[in-house]
Amino acid sequence: MLSMNQEVYRTIPHRPPFLFVDEIVDRDAASITTRRTLRADEAHFEGHYPGNPIMPGVLLCEAVFQTGAILLAGRTDGEIGNLTPVLTRIRDARFKNIARPGDELTIRAAITETQGRFSFLRGSIVSGEKKIMTVDFGLALIDENRAAS
């Protein structure tokens, strides 16, 4: 049986320093929950409000998008193979609170609609009782071999 971290590596192509999911907590066919602990030594904290480090909103969104990509990969028998998860839409991103080093983020994504190869999802991040952000987004799994043709 694969550890949760190995499963993340197996299902999406992202790798540090641009991987924002530490482990899969729970999932079913239509939704997933992952976790990420923010570390003070992450490079973006050095320059994003020095002395008062804040996780950039775009990277919070990326954590949600990666969580959604893991969900979609799981729907392809867990092996992403030649499929590349590609972001196709971002809508209604709302930031409610700040995420800082040391925060443990619980990241959720759920499919709201599927049209052909496109999936539309709603995602959120919480830290403890604190809602950090929400976003609606679209992803497609693109076949690398067909895209090059």
The number of distinct structural domains making up the chain is: 1
Domain at 135, CATH number: 3.10.129.10
Range of the domain at 34: 4-147
Residue 62: both structure tokens together: 């990326």
Strand partners, 130: 127
Q: pLDDT tens across 26-72, in order? A: 999 999 999 999 999 999 999 999 999 999 999 999 999 999 999 99
The residue assigned the tokens 């999932």 is 27
Least confident span in 6-15, 16-25, 61-70:
6-15
Catalytic residues: 48
Q: 141 forms bridges with which residues in the sheet?
A: 85
- Percentage of the chain surpassing pLDDT 70? 90
Q: Among positive and negative, which fits the CA dihedral 137, 147, 78, 75?
A: positive
- The structure tokens listed for 61 are 């969104």
**57 burial type by CB count under 10 A (0-12 exposed, 13-18 middle, 19+ buried):** middle
